[in-house]
Structure 1
Amino acid sequence: MTVAIDKTVRELAVENPASTRVFEKLGIDYCCGGNRSLREACENANLQFDQVLDSLEKADQATRGTQKDRDWQAEPLTSLTEHIQSTHHKYTREEIARLGPLLEKVCSVHGRNHRELLEVREIFKGLAQELNAHLMKEEMMLFPYIVRAEAAVAGNGPLARAPFGSVQNPVSMMEHEHDSAGNALRAMNEATNGYSAPADACISYQTLYQALAAFEADLHQHIHLENNILFPRAVAIEKEC
């Protein structure tokens, strides 16, 4: 693959899933802010465009001849919604339940000397509440409708009108909530200097920061799959019904 420099970050992430690992490592937003060109994204992140381009080429070359990441553009939407729920939704819920108490523990010991922990705790609390409600809305309302729309296009009966009207309405709401989650992740990342534990950090403190960094990376991938693949395809398939 020769990286097309005129494409957006979103388009590159969709066409070559291996590129998302490069973007994640370099701090390039490929989920909520993926509509920027690669050059613009590099400028915003203070990165050398040619070096990023080289990293993307190497990531693609490394996957040649190996089992590549699953191409969700080619998979049924039903399979994609199942994957998001069983992988990302499950992980998010489990980590929210684990990280809340761990944050409290670390704050009680280190919060006096590291005030940024208190800021992270408050941000995470708000994010956890928003995400729990967000996941429920997707699982109870949006995803089942997408599955029914796909079935209707396949000839398995007509698609009943949804109470929310067009699928674009809940999609817009979910995208707005994704933006809010992205802002919360960014704020925690900045408050912790990229989750860099201080010299006096205990094992729990270090574990917390490692887990928060992993939580951020997974949520980026989660949002990417929805914003850049699931939602556009859902809007398109509804028009075929």
Structure 2
Amino acid sequence: MKKFIAGDHLVTNIDPLGLTQHHGLCVGHNQVIHQRKDGVVELVTLAEFAEGAKIRRRAIAYDKDGAVERARSLLGYQPYHLLNSNCEHFVNWCIDENYRSDQISDSTQLTMQVFARTGLLGLSAKRIAQGSTANIVLASTAAKMIGERIGLPHSVNTVLGTPGNMVTKPIETLIHGTSDTLSMSAAHIRDGKYGKAAGSLVTGAAVTAVETTVVTPIKVVGDGIVAVADIGKDLWLWFKY
């Protein structure tokens, strides 16, 4: 089995095409900390993590000690949710305290493209999905997914995926923000606090709108710029290890 070091973001394919992956953080000594689907964050061996599949290094933590420390701090139970608290969210938080899942973003973008191109979202959406901008977005996401599949450094994949992320990340933010707002409002209604329910609905909608249209696009561009600057360092670490 290939040698990995502490701070490596590891992935294994769950399906033959590599569309679904399981993520873990190598903590050294052939051990991995990962989050199971039942929410348990546990320490296992590389062989137990692989379950017979091939393991790939997806990214390398610059702060290896910090990444391992954060992973160990979460050993035990942590609520699991496919869309906002899965194994990839867990590892990315350990590496740079950024809670994200490219797997969910890519799946969301591809699903929206399919729905739009088949006319399920209306004629206007279909025309937009068949335009040059949508084709660039689709090609960007596909290039990033291929890069991840063949094991390119994370910064390279981030640069490749930036045009696609300009669409996928705001959509993801909109979905999560809307879900959280509706859940909070529903909780207030169940408690009979109708005024708070209305207030949280208005406030949540406003915050989600700003996050979707302003904050997230700026962050995507910023991440892309940082990734360009990190390509040289990532390539050096990649070939070094």
Instruction: Considering fraction of residues, name the structure with more helix.
Output: 1
Instruction: Considering fraction of residues, name the structure with more strand.
Output: 2
TM-score of the pair, normalised by structure 2: 0.33
TM-score of the pair, normalised by structure 1: 0.33
Q: Name which structure has the greater RCO, CA cutoff 8 Å, separation 6+.
A: 1
